[in-house]
């Protein structure tokens, strides 16, 4: 009998994980400005990569936000949005936000974070990465968040208040801010190990 199969693949499951998902107006302009005030009113420190300051690779200042009476509303709002996006686009088994929220400040002439992934060997299992655009995109130039599912990458929406969610193993970068300053809020949602 002649084999007429063109493709011998026999998939067990169909992949249901999207490259990314976004939620417009996750936070209002007023809420974004309130988060920016919280971040700016605290001592920002130089961001590091594996404990080292590498300005040519990652050039930003950060402040960690944890739940308290002033910030609990941020965590509550994020929880509902993230669970909704995960249910519809990723379907990962998740624990929660156990690392806090990273308030990030990129400024001209070269605030950036070159290509990287948000997971690492022998650390907490980060499953979803979240980035919230706090700045009005008209207030700065550059600073686009790129996600790489292909060589060219995708520029994600950057309207103020937009939340972007993507698998933490996805290659991504923040292009250099060439004018002004960009503020964002970042967090990672952890879960049991991928199987």
Rounded-to-integer distance, Cα 38 and Cα 36, Å: 5
**Which residues share a beta bridge with 146?**
155, 173
112's tokens: 């950036």
User: SS3 of 120, please?
Assistant: coil
51's tokens: 């404990």
DSSP string, 11-33: -SS-----S-EEETTSS-HHHHH
Note down pLDDT in tens along the chain; length 195 residues: 565 656 777 788 888 899 999 999 999 999 999 999 999 999 999 998 877 888 889 999 999 999 999 999 999 999 999 999 999 999 999 999 999 999 999 999 999 999 999 998 888 999 999 999 999 999 999 999 999 999 999 999 999 999 999 999 999 999 999 999 999 999 999 999 988
Rounded-to-integer distance, Cα 143 and Cα 173, Å: 9
Confidence (pLDDT) at 11: 80
Rounded-to-integer distance, Cα 190 and Cα 192, Å: 7
How many angstroms separate the first and last alpha carbons of the chain? 39
User: SS3 of 79, please?
Assistant: helix
Rounded-to-integer distance, Cα 33 and Cα 14, Å: 41
Distance of CA 169 to the CA centre of its chain: 11
Confidence (pLDDT) at 176: 97
Confidence (pLDDT) at 164: 98
Rounded-to-integer distance, Cα 184 and Cα 195, Å: 31
H/E stretch holding 84: helix 72-85
Q: Is the pTM of this model over 0.85?
A: yes
Rounded-to-integer distance, Cα 44 and Cα 167, Å: 27
Tell me how many helices (H) and strands (E) the chain has. Answer: 2, 12
């Amino acid at each position: 009998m002649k084999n007429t199969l063109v493709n011998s693949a026999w998939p067990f499951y169909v992949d249901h994980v999207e490259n990314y998902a976004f939620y417009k107006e996750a936070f209002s302009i007023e809420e974004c400005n309130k988060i920016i005030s919280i971040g700016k009113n605290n001592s920002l420190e130089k961001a590091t990569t594996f404990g080292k300051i590498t300005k040519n690779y990652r050039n930003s200042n950060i402040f960690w936000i944890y739940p308290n009476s002033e910030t609990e509303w941020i965590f509550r709002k994020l929880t509902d949005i993230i669970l909704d996006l995960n249910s519809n686009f990723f379907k990962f088994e998740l624990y929660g936000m156990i690392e806090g929220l990273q308030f990030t400040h990129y400024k001209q002439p070269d605030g950036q974070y070159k290509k990287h992934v948000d997971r690492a060997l022998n650390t907490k299992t980060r499953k979803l990465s979240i980035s919230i655009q706090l700045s009005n995109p008209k207030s700065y130039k550059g600073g686009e968040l790129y996600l790489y599912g292909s060589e060219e990458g995708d520029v994600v929406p950057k309207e103020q208040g937009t939340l972007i969610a993507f698998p933490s193993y996805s290659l991504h970068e923040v292009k250099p801010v060439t004018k002004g300053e960009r503020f964002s809020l970042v967090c990672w949602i952890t879960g049991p190990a991928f199987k």
